[in-house]
Amino acid sequence: MAYFVALASAWLLLSASTALRPGRKGIFAALAYPVGWAAGELPAQAIVVQGALVGLLWWWGWPRTHWLSVVVIALALLVVAENLILVGIAFYARRIVRRALETSPQRPLTSPRPRDDHFGSWWRTALQIPFHPRNMQLIHNVVYGPERRHRLDVWRTSTTPKNAPVIFYIHGGAWTFGDKREQGRPMLHEFVERGWVAVSCNYRLAPRHPWPAQIEDVTRTLAWIKKYVANYGGDPDRVVVAGGSAGGHLAALLALSTDDPTWRPADVQGVTDWSVRGCIPFYGVLEMTGDEAHWHGLGWGLRVLLESRVVQVPFIGNEDLYRQLSPYHRINVDAPPFLVVQGGNDTLVDVNVARDFVEEFRHVAVAPVYYVELPFTQHAWDVTASPRTSATTRAAVAFATSVSAPRPGVTPALVAGYQSPPTELLVKSDADEWEPATDVAQELGPFCVVTADNPYSQQLEQWQNEARRGELLDVLHRRGVRVRPSVARDSSGTWPDEEGFALIEQSTQFARAVARAFDQSALYDVTEHEVLVRGTEDGDVLV
């Protein structure tokens, strides 16, 4: 029995060591995820098991051999010590998450506190079992297409209000396995308890169904949400998409290709708006060419998987195809807001994939991107209801809430208030004087004017508008955009002055993306002859 306890303790010690410092070569790389994940997510349970082993040995009969007794005690102490470190790391994730959101360079967020959880109570976290709310209504296997895997689940409660925001979750599994019932449950339970409608779907799997079957099915599911989720109390205009691993890839790709009809099923009719409000990839495969500049030694494994089982065509000679299905290579100025969450010890998706994606997003897109990097954290940490999962769930709630607020429609009164004249639109000239915008356009050429003040015409305090204005200016400066200060003055005096910026030598598309990122209904399109008011959603002139 003493030898058995010593061997079991040695295994627990190896597991905890792997969680803290996973190997990346040979057999250690192969064991890093299956061994390290269990130890990293169940450290408290490991301490209990170690105590039970020592207790069992005490009951059975403590070994009389001195060296064996010392080995058992030493191993037990090391197991407890390492797992206590892992417990501390899981709780420290709360501070990491809050700090990441609060120090974001654009649109900082405040993450809810543990006491604010609607469903993630302490005992659920302690048990780490993803129980669902008692009043949750789960509608199973709703058909969204003709294939056998075209089934989705809708989650809500008996008290979910009408026109509730929607969280669309996509499961992972290397595009070859997985099920809508298996992943993301702790987070989705919290969203549902907070009054959201949750949708999770199955999609066709490789190798039987090679790419692009997976993204086509996810796109088809989004079409179903846009057309039918209102029947379940959801608002089709307030959809946030999320997913883990391969599901994180599909979620990001869906969010970044809303204007690309390539993967839209031909038999789906009646959908004109394919947009989502935001995207939350957890440990997502955000780069799909296997470029080692991002993957740091893990890219070859991804490429082998894609070539042999998923895409089923070689990378060499099909580079454009692989870049087309890579979220990193599809980041664009119109991208919606992102919350990227990644584990620092992930041995399946290298942490630099997420870092590089976020850096590129901040360089190209204008919407905010939030990045949470969890130290000593392996792939798929959010399967269990741990303190770390609760922390990232709160981050997801804060992000999704911030991007899913209802957007008021553009009313005739609002359009009339934008018109110039009677609104006076002034821009700083080369002489540092306020001049009519059309006069400045004679000097500089056509330009667009955007503001960050009073999102969706909801009047804010002066200090709030100043903060938003500073954020807007920072976004423009980081992209090297030439700007001139502007001000729009209501001649009737019923609306306060709104300050903004004239974007010099920038396209209307870029100006619309900037205005949308700062929750504006319209912008000014200025030429030397006239000032046009354009809607930010479609770019049409508002009259």
Assess whether 158 carries a catalytic annotation: no
Of residues 271, 408, 395, the one with CA closest to residue 337: 395
In DSSP terms, 448 is beta-bridged to 503, 525
Pull the structure tokens for residue 198: 């949750």
- Catalytic hit among 15, 245, 386, 420: 245
3-state secondary structure 134-166: CCEEEEEEEECCCCCCCEEEEEEECCCCCCEEE
Instruction: Give CA–CA dist 333/291, Å, rounded.
Output: 23
Assess whether 379 carries a catalytic annotation: yes
Instruction: Give CA–CA dist 483/516, Å, rounded.
Output: 18
Q: What is the DSSP secondary structure assignment for residue 105, as one 8-state letter? A: S
Pull the structure tokens for residue 124: 């659920």
Of residues 341, 332, 396, 403, the one with CA closest to residue 366: 332
Of residues 453, 497, 448, 489, the one with CA closest to residue 471: 453
Instruction: Give CA–CA dist 114/428, Å, rounded.
Output: 48
Instruction: List strands edge to edge, sheet with 447-451.
Output: 434-436, 424-428, 482-489, 498-504, 447-451, 522-526, 531-535
Pull the structure tokens for residue 258: 């809303």
Q: Say if residue 323 is exposed, middle or buried (CB neighbours under 10 Å; 0-12, 13-18, 19+).
A: middle
Cis peptide before 421 (omega within 30 of 0): yes
Assess whether 153 carries a catalytic annotation: no
- Catalytic hit among 217, 379, 404, 519: 379
Collapse the DSSP code of 435 into the 3-class scheme (helix H, G, I; strand E, B; otherwise coil) and give the result.
strand
Instruction: Give CA–CA dist 518/36, Å, rounded.
Output: 42
- Residue 50 CB-half CA count within 13 A: 28
Q: Say if residue 408 is exposed, middle or buried (CB neighbours under 10 Å; 0-12, 13-18, 19+).
A: exposed
- Catalytic hit among 346, 350, 382, 525: 346
Instruction: Give CA–CA dist 462/464, Å, rounded.
Output: 5
Helix axes 462-478, 508-517, angle to 10 degrees: 140
**Residue 57's Cα: distance from chain center in Å?**
48
Catalytic residue positions, numbered: 245, 346, 379
